[in-house]
Homo-oligomer: A and B are copies of this chain.
Amino acid sequence: MSSREKAVVLLSGGLDSATVLAIASQDFDCHAISFHYRQRHISELKAAAQLARSFNAQHQSITLDDGVMSGSALTDSRIAVPETGLEAGIPVTYVPARNTVFLAHALAVAEVQVSSDIFIGVNAVDYSGYPDCRPEYIAAFERMANLATKAGVEGQDLHVHAPLIQMSKSEIIATGIQLGVDYAMTVSCYQADDQGRACGLCDSCRLRRAGFEAAGVADPTRYQAR
């Protein structure tokens, strides 16, 4: 048995959460959780499992009910994923309350696993304008979580770590490479095909590609022939 504390890590299988898993693994035994929520880019779940193995983390896949998280381009095939670049405001790829539902599950898992540390790969710099990626949101969730749980009441502080929140995409990539992340395993594209190949056009692909360029790192992403 390891003497290290346990952490619960939200792992989508994308570039950001893979980096967070690498960061968390330095200090914690990690229990990674991924969600099946009818996302278009279901191949990210295979990537998540592979990434968890590569960092010797436990991996739990959680299925959300079909009726939740509808009304987004990421979960409704009738709404097109924008391919013309980032626009102002909250985009159609925003999924209602997604990080709150994810973090609520992480909190339940953390309590069962007797862990006081939750890691999430939100980022407030090179991001898509989602409200639930901002530092004030993470701080408010942490405060609520400490009032919600038995551990919190018993004085065992729960921490929500968002180590990437103030990093640029290129800083994230540089950090991950130093910690041994194989970004070829990761899937960031909002409409990746079932082989995990990226469209190269959605906001997530654009941010990722620019990040590799800025970091001076060869882009290992496999792109679809289009």
Q: List residues of A whose CB falls within 8 A of some B CB.
A: 60, 62-65, 67-71, 90, 94, 96-101, 103-105, 107-109, 111-112, 131-132, 134, 136-137, 140-141, 143-145, 147-150, 152-154
Contacts and interface: CB of A to CB of B under 8 A. Distances in A.
Given A108-B101, A140-B140, A147-B131, A65 B63 contact: yes
B97 A104 contact: yes
Contacts of A101: 101, 104-105, 107-108
B148 A137 contact: yes
Nearest to A102: B104
The 5 residue pairs across chains A and B that have the minimum distance between CB atoms: A96-B111, A104-B104, A97-B108, A140-B144, A137-B147
A100 to B, nearest CB: 5
A86 to B, nearest CB: 16
Given A64-B65, A68-B62, A132 B149 contact: yes
Given A112-B96, A148-B99, A148-B132, A67 B62 contact: yes
A71 B151 CA distance: 14
Nearest to A70: B112
B62 A62 contact: no
Contacts of A152: 131
